[in-house]
Amino acid sequence: MDFGYKLKSLTHLLSANGLFSGWASAGSEQHLKCAALKDTLRIENTTIVDATFLAVGSRVKFRNVCPEQSSTKLYAPTSLCRVQFVTQTSESSGIRAEAWLPEEWYGRFLGVGNGGLGGCIAYNDLAYGSSFHFASVGSNNGHDGNSGEVFLNNPEVIEDFAHRSIHVEAVVGKQIVEAYYGQQHQKSYYLGCSTGGRQGTQEALKYPADFDGILAGAPAIDFNHLLHWIGMLARHAGAPDPTSPAFLSASEWTLVSEEILKQCDMLDGGKDGIITEPDTCLFRPDTLVCRPGQIDDCLFPAQIEALRKIYSPLYADGELIFPRFDPGAELTYRQFLWGGQFPEYPRDWLQYAVANTTKIDFGTYGPEDGKRMDAVNPGGIATFSGDFAAFRDRGGKFLTYHGRMDALIASGNSKRMYDLVSTTLSMPTLDSFYRLFLVPGLAHCTEGLGSPNFGQRGNTVTTAVNASSHNILLALVDWVENGNAPDEIVGTSHDGQAERIHCRYPLRSVRDAEQTEWICVV
């Protein structure tokens, strides 16, 4: 393994159903084998920081570098060897990572991704993977924390974030797995959502041999255009000036959401707060305009114009930049998008990665800033190519999903990618290796309404079902290892009491004629 440099020092990094049966470890000897890794395992450019065996139920302690993880209490879901390591990826960059190696291992390797601009090892996904007996590996994506400030004048850190970290995670992780178990993995898989979905897509495009099966949720593909779109969503509503006449308060956004449901909830035949096909919802904001003398429960012309722009595709110079915001998703990330401040993701990316400065006036943010992101494309991060040929030809399987209530990444973007791959490969249908599930009611990666849980992430583990019919990760395994490609995935509600079938694109789920069950139709 050679990343194009020789290791000098790591001091600065160190301080900062039939599917699951059969394999078993040798037992107590694993404790000694685990501890020995710290002193005996030698991997180029890599230092094993610690190797500790954890009994099932043991508290897992981790560095508090990400605010959203500060209150997380994590316990080992099964007895496992926890290996913490650092790999230097250049003279000025490196990744911090962990391998969770279950005592009872079924021969499968699982790499997990990241989110946002982080910076945060996905511990919930490591726990999820190891609970299903995958040898699971995750990294910090080349830096700690959620801020993009680390990108300032650090092109190698950007390279890690854009594409290199998951590849290194896979290459080094597989060597750790072989050293611990005394044999190579049989199949390798990947799981990630949002940034993690983009990372999985980039793996298929750039490193097609790393994984046999990739589960890429709500992928943040066409990355520069995506972040520009997020910035423009905020600008349409007046950000960064909360006194702008275009600004909408929280109560006004609730009014908008109620009107959207009034206009579109019944399009799918049921009143349940879920718009199954947002593409069919032609929201008319003019119905909310204030009449003469009216000041309550209505909106003023500047606000109406903001809504027209938000619920329309974003174009520049006649080119589609990004699909429109999905009606019905507006309340899920309201504060992030429309709280009055310019959103941190496009702010940090433009400032620190694209412009290499700390002095940008976001009060004048507009189309030229989007063009600048596109032109620089730091680290080649765009991730919007349809050339999946190498991944397809080696037998890889790509399974992706996207919530139709996703406020951070419009679900239409995943449809664009599907069409791009189809056109690039001259394949009218991609079913042999690439399947997309558009999920009604699912917000960004997890959460939402209806039945948004189908084993897609570690934080849905409490409702995860050990069956490929209800668990999309296991469905991917079944596809790779047994050739059973998924046409449907059954989602469950948060309380586990309700279910809904989610269908592979271009099919959609509707109630049958008797309104008794969900079926997939064209």
Catalytic residues: 194, 406, 444
Neighbours of 510 (CB within 10 A): 19
Beta strands in 218-327 (DSSP E): 314-316, 319-322
Scanning the structure block, which residue is given the tokens 């507006």? 330
Residue type, 475: A
Scanning the structure block, which residue is given the tokens 């982080």? 118
Contact 310, 233 (CB under 8 A): yes
Contact 481, 19 (CB under 8 A): yes
Cα 80 from Cα 135, distance rounded (Å): 9
- Please report which helix (H) or strand (E) contains residue 174, including its range: helix 165-181
3-class secondary-structure state, position 442: strand
Residue type, 336: F
DSSP of 261-309, one letter per residue? HHHHGGGGT--SS--S-GGG----GGGGBPPTT--SS-B-HHHHHHHHH
Handedness of CA 385, 320, 433, 139 (dihedral sign): positive
Strands 93-102 and 80-90: antiparallel
- Please report which helix (H) or strand (E) contains residue 46, including its range: strand 46-54
Paired with 51 in beta bridges are 83
* The token pair that represents 149 in the structure block: 């400030």
Choose among 347, 351, 311, 306: nearest CA to 328.
311
Beta strands in 364-487 (DSSP E): 397-403, 434-439
Contact 310, 236 (CB under 8 A): yes
Choose among 465, 329, 337, 323: nearest CA to 384.
323
Contact 51, 44 (CB under 8 A): no
φ, ψ (nearest 5 deg) of residue 505 = -65, 140
Residue type, 238: G
* The token pair that represents 293 in the structure block: 């003398």
Contact 439, 449 (CB under 8 A): no
* The token pair that represents 252 in the structure block: 């006004």
Cα 125 from Cα 97, distance rounded (Å): 13
Cα 345 from Cα 341, distance rounded (Å): 12
* The token pair that represents 188 in the structure block: 């390798």
Choose among 23, 109, 102, 124: nearest CA to 55.
102
